[in-house]
């Protein structure tokens, strides 16, 4: 069965409820609330022809004989009827409802599962708190006035997106009506004018879409342009709205890295000046070896409005996903995070060695280009049997972990030659917990 969903305007319309008791009362209440003229007939008093003139009939009698009569009569007269709990005698069914007037959400499983319908309703009620009522009314008011003022649709839509992304919902939730109004007025006032876009530097997490923050999801949904690293997974990018242009800035090979970085920043500035909202999506956390700091500095000096949304860094999530705690009482009280990327020079290796003596647990990002050199430098200050692990493609289905003592880790990793981004962890914590994946992938856990 496929239903055609509608909301009926029953204001002042004659409607009939057949039945008595709680079920009938509930139907009467709903109809009266919708402004209908409701007549109630007790099953014993029903006479043929009683439903004449009604727009809509609900039979809650539960009496199969009466059900058949009311159904046939309604069908003959072309009146919409619902015989309660008798699917084949219903011209309409009533959905489960989340009511946040003027917002109304209706849920139907086409009668397949009332349980699912009410479970979904409970979820949606939590998602759409009571503040959604006044919020919807407020957005409606802005819309009426923008249309009256003849503001072009494109600018209207941008204003609606700003309202949705603003803290107005939060203010309404906290009962701060005046501030909510003021903020909405501001967005409305700016809707007609040219407004520069903003750039959001957003952390995409280490790979598993379950580790994306809610703020990242919201901003992705609002963005006009999403400029993302090659490492960012498609499951993360689905959160981009239909209007968003996706640009993979990680796959443009052939250019020198610094020149490429300048191109990306220049492009962001250009978009923002053209009034577009840009999300610059970076793997992990944007401020951990992601050149996020440099980008913010340049955007700010170009006068662009910038927000930074932290992400779950692979330096934190990678070891966790491999069952390696970064700190552990009595074993590791400090952590250092360092880049192995430019560890070609002696000075860089000395920096890693210095850190290796200073902290209990050492995380090296981008270690693969010179894993052997990095390990040998550490061996000048650490024991040869200090536990180490290389974690590949952490938090993704391709995750692999190679463990070995520090003096053997480079050889062990080279022998495996695994794909994907990788990081190195060195410290007693590597062997502290039982050697197995502690949990399934987060995405599997969430999916049940
Ligand atoms: N800003 C990022 C790091 C960027 S540098 C963050 O906070 O995670 C890129 C390096 O991050 C890679 O060379 C690798 O060392 C590490 N990395 C990123 N994602 C990873 C993953 N899923 N598994 C293991 N290492 C990862």
Please name the residues in contact with 107: beta carbons below 8 A apart, sequence gap of 6 or more.
Answer: 95, 96, 97, 98, 117, 120, 121, 124
CA of 349 to the centre of ligand 1 (A): 20
| Residues 400/393, Cβ–Cβ less than 8 Å | yes
Residue with tokens 């509930």: 26
Per residue in 343-401, pLDDT tens?
Answer: 666 767 888 999 999 999 999 999 998 999 999 999 999 999 999 999 999 999 999 99
Please name the residues in contact with 253: beta carbons below 8 A apart, sequence gap of 6 or more.
Answer: none
The pLDDT, as a whole number, for residue 306 is 96
The pair of three-digit structure tokens given for residue 61, joined into one six-digit string: 């009698």
From the CB of 313, is ligand 1 less than 6 Å away?
Answer: yes
- Compute the distance between CA of residue 295 and CA of residue 154 in angstroms, rounded to an integer: 29
For the chain, what are the domain ranges? 14-94, 132-190, 198-309, 315-446
Is 55 a residue whose pLDDT tops 70? yes
- Compute the distance between CA of residue 1 and CA of residue 87 in angstroms, rounded to an integer: 10
Per residue in 152-187, pLDDT tens?
Answer: 888 898 899 889 888 999 999 999 999 999 999 999
Is the whole model's pTM more than 0.75, yes or no?
A: no
From the CB of 319, is ligand 1 less than 6 Å away?
Answer: no
> Does residue 282 carry a catalytic annotation?
no
Measured in residues, the chain has a length of 448
From the CB of 399, is ligand 1 less than 6 Å away?
Answer: no
3-state SS, residue 224: coil
CA of 219 to the centre of ligand 1 (A): 22
Q: Given ligand 1 and candidates 205, 230, 284, 366, which is best to mutate, with the most ligand atoms within 8 Å of its CB?
A: 284
> Does residue 45 carry a catalytic annotation?
no
How is 229-259 classified by DSSP, letter by letter? -TTS-HHHHTTS-TTPEEEE-SS-TTS-HHH
Confidence of residue 244 (pLDDT cuts 50, 70, 90): very high
Residue bearing the CA closest to ligand 1, atom 16? 365
What average pLDDT does the segment 237-265 reach? 82
Return the CATH fold of 14-94. Answer: Rossmann fold (3.40.50)
Please name the residues in contact with 292: beta carbons below 8 A apart, sequence gap of 6 or more.
Answer: 201, 282, 285, 286, 308
* CATH number of 315-446, picked from 3.30.950.10, 1.10.40.30, 3.20.20.80, 3.40.50.1970: 3.30.950.10
From the CB of 201, is ligand 1 less than 6 Å away?
Answer: no
How is 6-54 classified by DSSP, letter by letter? -----TT-EEEEE--SHHHHHHHHHHHHTT-EEEEE-GGG--TTTTTT-
The pLDDT, as a whole number, for residue 396 is 92
Tell me the pLDDT of the chain averaged across its residues: 92
Per residue in 279-322, pLDDT tens?
Answer: 999 999 999 998 899 999 999 999 999 999 999 999 999 999 99
Per residue in 213-228, pLDDT tens?
Answer: 999 998 998 899 999 9
Is 125 a residue whose pLDDT tops 60? yes
Residue bearing the CA closest to ligand 1, atom 25? 422
Confidence of residue 241 (pLDDT cuts 50, 70, 90): confident
From the CB of 366, is ligand 1 less than 6 Å away?
Answer: yes
Please name the residues in contact with 248: beta carbons below 8 A apart, sequence gap of 6 or more.
Answer: 228, 230
Helix (H) or strand (E) holding 158: helix 153-165
Instruction: Pick the closest to residue 16 from 88, 69, 74, 63 (CA basis).
Output: 74
From the CB of 393, is ligand 1 less than 6 Å away?
Answer: yes
Q: Is 3.40.1010.10 the CATH number for 198-309?
A: yes
Residues forming beta bridges with residue 18, ordered by sequence position: 41, 59
């Amino acid at each position: 069965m496929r239903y055609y969903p509608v909301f009926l305007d029953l204001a002042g319309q004659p409607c009939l409820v057949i039945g008595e008791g709680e079920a009938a009362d509930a139907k009467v209440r709903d109809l009266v609330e919708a402004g209908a003229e409701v007549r109630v007939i007790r099953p014993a008093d029903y006479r043929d022809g009683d439903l004449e003139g009604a727009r809509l009939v609900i039979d809650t009698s539960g009496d199969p004989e009466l059900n058949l009569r009311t159904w046939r009569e309604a069908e003959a007269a072309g009146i919409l009827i619902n015989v309660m709990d008798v699917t084949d005698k219903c011209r309409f069914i009533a959905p489960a409802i989340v009511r946040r007037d003027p917002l109304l959400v209706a849920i139907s499983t086409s009668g397949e599962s009332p349980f699912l319908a009410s479970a979904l309703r409970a979820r949606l009620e939590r998602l759409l708190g009571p503040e959604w009522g006044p919020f919807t009314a407020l957005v409606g008011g802005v819309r009426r006035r923008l249309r009256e003022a003849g503001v072009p649709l494109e600018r209207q839509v941008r204003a609606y997106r700003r309202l949705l992304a603003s803290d107005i919902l939060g203010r309404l939730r906290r009962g701060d009506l005046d501030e909510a109004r003021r903020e909405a007025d501001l967005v409305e006032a700016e809707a007609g004018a040219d407004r520069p876009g903003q750039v959001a530097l957003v952390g995409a997490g280490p790979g598993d879409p379950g580790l994306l923050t809610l703020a990242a999801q919201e901003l992705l949904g609002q963005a006009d342009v999403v400029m993302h690293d090659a490492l960012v997974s498609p499951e993360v990018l689905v959160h981009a709205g239909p209007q968003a242009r996706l640009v993979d800035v990680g796959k443009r090979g052939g250019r020198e890295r610094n020149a490429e970085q300048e191109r990306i920043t220049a492009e962001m500035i250009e978009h923002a000046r053209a009034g577009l909202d840009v999300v610059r999506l970076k793997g992990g956390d944007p401020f951990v070896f992601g050149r996020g700091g440099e980008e913010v500095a340049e955007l700010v000096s170009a006068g662009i409005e910038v927000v930074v949304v932290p992400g779950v860094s692979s330096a934190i999530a990678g070891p966790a996903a491999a069952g390696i705690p970064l700190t552990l009482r009595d074993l590791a009280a400090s952590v250092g995070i360092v880049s192995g990327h430019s560890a070609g020079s002696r000075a860089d290796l000395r920096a890693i060695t210095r850190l290796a003596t200073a902290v209990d647990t050492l995380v090296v990002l981008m270690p693969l280009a010179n894993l052997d050199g990095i390990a040998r430098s550490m061996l000048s200050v650490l024991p040869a049997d200090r536990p180490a692990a290389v974690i590949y493609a952490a938090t993704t289905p391709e995750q692999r972990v190679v463990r070995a003592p520090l003096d053997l880790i480079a050889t062990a990793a080279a022998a495996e030659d695994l794909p994907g981004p990788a990081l190195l962890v060195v410290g007693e914590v590597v062997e502290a917990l039982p050697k197995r994946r502690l949990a399934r992938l987060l995405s599997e856990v969430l999916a049940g």
